[in-house]
Amino acid sequence: MSPRAIRGAMGRNVRSDDMESFDRPGKRTRPRTKDRPDYSKLPTARVITIDRGRYRCQLDDDVLVSATKARQLGRKGAIVGDIVRLDGDVSGEEGTLARICAVEVRRTVLRRTADDNDPFERPIVANADQIMIVTALADPPPRVGMIDRIMVAAYDAGVKPILCLTKADLASPDELIAAYEPLDVPVVVTSPGSDLAPVRELLAGHVTVFVGHSGVGKSTLVNALIPGVNRSTGVVNDVTGRGRHTSTSAIALELPDEDGWVIDTPGVRSFGLSHVTPESVLASFGDLSAFTDQCPRGCQHGTNDPECGLDSAVARGDLAPERLDSYRRMWQAGRLKDWEL
């Protein structure tokens, strides 16, 4: 309350010097320090899921802890996959609550935007080193545009892409395998009841995020890899050919008997790439970058760019045309606006 308001409330006979004790301290009167709290001694944990402002974290000794987030970290300060420092009660007992004080430096961040005109990036998961793009060969049918766009996001994030083709009992995988063979992307094929040893081999020792359309079998695959986890599964709409969202939030799950994690994410129907640049995609193709030194200024290395060094490399026989076609498909996927997925 200001001195004027206090005088009005207490009467006109109050002396002004009596009001000094009611004044707010002036600016810069409080001693300040450059010292910041030291959180380095606090225990670390991995954020495994987030639900309505509560962060479920797993400590190094496998204890599960519920936590809130410190205000200074901001609204998007911690995401699934983050390694965080916890303060407070980390016993994991029912009714206890810890606090996330700091987020360790992320090795990678997989991002997307709502659409290609959205300037705001939405981080999906942190610290994944692989992304398994799960797509069905039928029911719903594969969408190459979506696969390409997720791969572009993976290249931009520095995350290794893997293609997992499910429901091989309904359609042949040969066409899709041939389409991605020039990219040197590992491809695994599954069907109901099939041996998942090739999938486990690719996942062992890695943090892998599963991404794909609803209804393609991500959660079914997770349930088979981690018995007892019981992720919800759904069916595909016969009219639209699209799956229903069954997983509503991302969750990190530790692989049994193996040194690795999988992060199951909700099904996506769009994958905006407004945050991606052609340079970041090209950087993931190390063998192509060597041929762009002689490109004219402003060359985007696309199909219609004259005197592109990549075309010259193909003409000389230094670069396989299939490899260049695959790169340009990725490049085009990153440029298209309002892709209908």
The pLDDT tens digits of the residues spanning 265-302 come to 988 767 777 777 777 777 777 788 889 888 898 888 88
215 is in an annotated binding site: yes
326 is in an annotated binding site: no
Q: What is the structure's pLDDT at 334?
A: 61
In angstroms, the Cα distances linking 332 to 1, 149, 156, 277 are 62, 9, 14, 11
Phi, psi (degrees; rounded to nearest 5) at 113: -115, 160
DSSP state of 183: G
pLDDT band at 118 (very low <50, low <70, confident <90, very high): low
245 is in an annotated binding site: no
76 is in an annotated binding site: no
Structure tokens that stand for 247 in this block: 């997983």
31-35, 86-90, 175-179, 271-275: which has the minimum mean pLDDT?
31-35
Q: What is the structure's pLDDT at 8?
A: 52
Q: What is the structure's pLDDT at 77?
A: 86
219 is in an annotated binding site: yes
275 is in an annotated binding site: no
216 is in an annotated binding site: yes
62 is in an annotated binding site: no
The proportion of the chain whose per-residue pLDDT surpasses 90, expressed as a percent, equals: 43
Q: What is the structure's pLDDT at 120?
A: 66
Q: Mean pLDDT of all residues in the chain? A: 82
Q: What is the structure's pLDDT at 37?
A: 82
104-108, 168-172, 232-236: which has the minimum mean pLDDT?
232-236
C-alpha torsion sign, points 90, 95, 98, 103: positive
299 is in an annotated binding site: yes
Q: What is the structure's pLDDT at 203?
A: 96
**Tens digits of residue pLDDT in 199-218:** 999 999 999 999 998 889 88
301 is in an annotated binding site: yes
217 is in an annotated binding site: yes
Sorted by sequence, the CB contacts under 8 Å of residue 3 that are 6+ apart come out as 16, 19, 22, 23
167 is in an annotated binding site: yes
205 is in an annotated binding site: no
218 is in an annotated binding site: yes
208 is in an annotated binding site: no
170 pLDDT above the threshold of 90: yes
Q: Please give the angle made by the CA atoms of 193, 128 and 73, to the nearest 5 degrees.
A: 135
pTM: 0.77
* Structural domains of the chain ordered from first start: 44-103 (2.40.50.140), 109-230+247-264 (3.40.50.300), 278-335 (no CATH)
